[in-house]
Amino acid sequence: MSVTSRYRDAWESFWNEAPEGQGAVFWDAEPMLTSGRHLAHFEPHLVDPALPLIDLGCGNGTQTRFFADRFPHVVGADLSAAALDHARRLDPAGRAAYRQLDAADKAEAQTLHAELGDANVYVRGVLHQCEPDDRQPLTDALAVLLGARGRAFLVEPAQAARTVLAALAQDPEGPPAKLAPVLRHGLTPGAAPDEAVPQHLRAAGLTVLATGELPLYTTAYTPDGTRIELPSTWVVAGPGGG
């Protein structure tokens, strides 16, 4: 199973129109506010930090480049070829590798696992943007990428984030400039139920090792200059009995 063409086309058109540079899109906050904070919760659970690290849904590679300075082999994977073009241009030194991947296609995950072996995987805000029918296939593919020794860190907007986003979208003066393209391309967050992520992980044969809550920072601000934050939940998971 792979993602629908509508979903693929929406991401391709979004990234084709996205401005160049770090911080240019709504969720592209600086790593010290995002993956840097997440890493503090992820690293204690890594069985082998020397395994390849896959940044799944890497977009323009901001977090990928952060990881590439901290792990020996980092791969940014994304459904969108246009997103990967951004990522490669922003990484002229080639600190990371980049790979187009339909993460809802288990066969593609098996191919990547055959090339890399077991991997640790970072997933930020991917499941909630998926079509509901794609969430379990994506999680099944995640389990393939982990193999026997990998660990996964997933962070997703909490259900309460939907209220925040709805208020921003319905503002009489219009949504924030960086949120508007997300809505225009039909990428409105699906607001997966809070319990969905651990349920999908367990259904894929993975064990939830740790959970928590953190604010998910965006690159947008309210008119009074306050950075927009979304409530989020994070999960660390691993194969088998953990």
Consecutive H or E run containing 125: none
- pLDDT tens profile 197-237: 999 999 999 999 999 999 989 998 888 888 989 889 999 99
For 201, phi then psi, to 5°, come to -60, -45
- Of 8, 17, 48, 240, nearest to 131 (Cα)? 8
Indicate if the pLDDT at residue 241 is higher than 70.
no
- Of 164, 163, 157, 160, nearest to 226 (Cα)? 164
- Of 89, 72, 74, nearest to 122 (Cα)? 74
Q: What is the pTM of this model?
A: 0.93
- pLDDT tens profile 56-89: 999 999 999 999 999 999 999 999 999 999 999 9
Average pLDDT of the chain is 89
Strand partners, 122: 55, 153
pLDDT of residue 185: 65
Cβ proximity of 155 and 192 under 8 Å: no
Give the span between the Cα atoms of 28 and 35, in whole angstroms: 11
In the predicted model, what is the mean pLDDT of residues 12-16? Answer: 88
Give the span between the Cα atoms of 170 and 182, in whole angstroms: 14
Cβ proximity of 144 and 116 under 8 Å: no
- pLDDT tens profile 156-195: 988 888 788 777 777 777 777 778 777 776 666 555 777 8
DSSP 32: G
pLDDT of residue 178: 78
Give the span between the Cα atoms of 105 and 98, in whole angstroms: 18
